């Protein structure tokens, strides 16, 4: 259940990153959901990365948010690899 939620949030973040205009509130909410899911899974690194993205959304700087999404995607991919999620 948590894995599914996190996967859907990451996919939506990818879509937001591809958009010309960022919806910072939506991205921040998705990052918040990933942070909560990561906390349930004891994925501290992923949780902190999601929290940083939440904070970046408050600044509404597209380049920094884009980099934050990329970092979160990378962390998620690594977490999946380590835990052998299919």
Helix ranges restricted to H, the chain? 2-18, 24-40, 44-59, 62-82
Number of Cβ within 10 Å of residue 9's Cβ equals 22
pLDDT at 86 over 70: no
pLDDT at 10 over 80: yes
Euclidean distance between CA atoms 22 and 48, whole angstroms: 22
pLDDT of amino acid 48? 98
What percent of the chain is modeled with pLDDT above 70? 99
Euclidean distance between CA atoms 56 and 20, whole angstroms: 18
pLDDT tens string 14-56? 999 999 899 999 999 999 999 999 999 999 999 999 999 999 9
With 0-12 CB in 10 A as exposed, 13-18 as middle and 19+ as buried, what is 32? middle
pLDDT of amino acid 56? 97
């Amino acid at each position: 259940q948590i894995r599914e939620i996190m996967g859907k949030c990451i996919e939506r973040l990818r879509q937001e990153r591809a958009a010309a205009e960022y919806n910072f509130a939506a991205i921040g909410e998705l990052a918040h959901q990933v942070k909560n899911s990561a906390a349930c899974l004891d994925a501290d690194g992923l949780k902190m990365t999601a929290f940083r993205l939440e904070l970046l959304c408050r600044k509404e700087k597209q380049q920094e948010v884009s980099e934050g999404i990329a970092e979160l995607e990378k962390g998620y991919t690594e977490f999946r690899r380590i835990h052998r999620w299919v």
